[in-house]
C-alpha cells in the first residue's frame, strides 16, 4: 500500500498507508487526523478537504475537474498547489507523496 505523509496544521507529520482506490481525504478521516473536515463526504461540493500538493506529487494524481477548480478558486488560502483531497485517488506510484493540510478547513 502506498504511504502518504500528511503535514498537519501544527506542522507535525503523520505517515499513513492508504489502500489503492481510496482518496487522500479517506486516509485522513479514517485515521482521525486533524485538518481535513470533509463535510460533504467526498462529493466535491464543500471544499473543507483542501490541501496543498507539490507539483511533482500532484502529477501522480488525476487532473482536477472543472468542478474542483471552481471550488478552489473561491477558497481562502488557495494557491497553485491547491487540491481537494477527496478528488485525489491513491494509485500505484503514490508512495511517498506529501500532503500539506492548511489550518483553514474548519
Ligand atoms: S469532502 Fe467535500 S469537497 Fe472534498
**32, part of any domain:** yes
Please write the tens of the pLDDT for every residue from 28-62: 999 999 999 999 999 999 999 999 999 999 999 99
CATH of the domain at 89: 3.10.20.30
Number of structural domains found in the chain: 1
**106, part of any domain:** no
Q: Which residue has the higher pLDDT, 44 or 105?
A: 44
Strand partners, 83: 51
**105, part of any domain:** no
**43, part of any domain:** yes
Name the strand (E) or helix (H) holding 5.
strand 3-7
| Most informative mutation of 49, 53, 78 for ligand 1 (most atoms within 8 A of CB) | 49
The pLDDT of residue 106 is above 70: no
**19, part of any domain:** yes
The domain in which residue 29 lies consists of 3-100
Residue 38's CB: how many other CB atoms inside 10 A?
20
Please write the tens of the pLDDT for every residue from 60-81: 999 999 999 999 999 988 999 9
CA of residue 96 to ligand 1 center, whole Å: 23
**Ligand 1: lining residues by beta carbon, under 6 Å:** 25, 38-40, 42-49, 84, 86
For 69-90, the DSSP string reads HHHHHTSTT--TTEEEGGG-B-
Confidence of residue 3 (pLDDT cuts 50, 70, 90): very high
Amino acid at each position: 500500500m502506498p504511504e502518504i505523509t500528511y503535514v498537519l496544521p501544527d506542522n507535525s507529520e503523520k505517515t499513513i498507508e492508504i489502500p489503492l482506490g481510496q482518496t487522500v481525504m479517506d486516509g485522513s478521516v479514517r485515521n482521525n487526523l486533524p485538518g481535513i473536515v470533509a463535510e460533504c463526504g467526498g462529493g466535491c461540493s464543500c471544499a473543507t478537504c483542501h490541501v496543498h500538493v507539490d507539483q511533482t506529487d500532484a502529477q501522480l494524481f488525476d487532473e482536477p475537474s472543472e468542478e474542483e477548480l471552481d471550488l478552489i478558486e473561491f477558497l481562502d488560502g488557495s494557491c497553485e498547489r491547491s487540491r481537494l483531497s477527496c478528488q485525489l485517488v491513491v494509485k500505484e506510484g503514490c508512495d511517498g507523496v506529501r500532503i500539506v493540510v492548511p489550518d483553514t478547513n474548519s
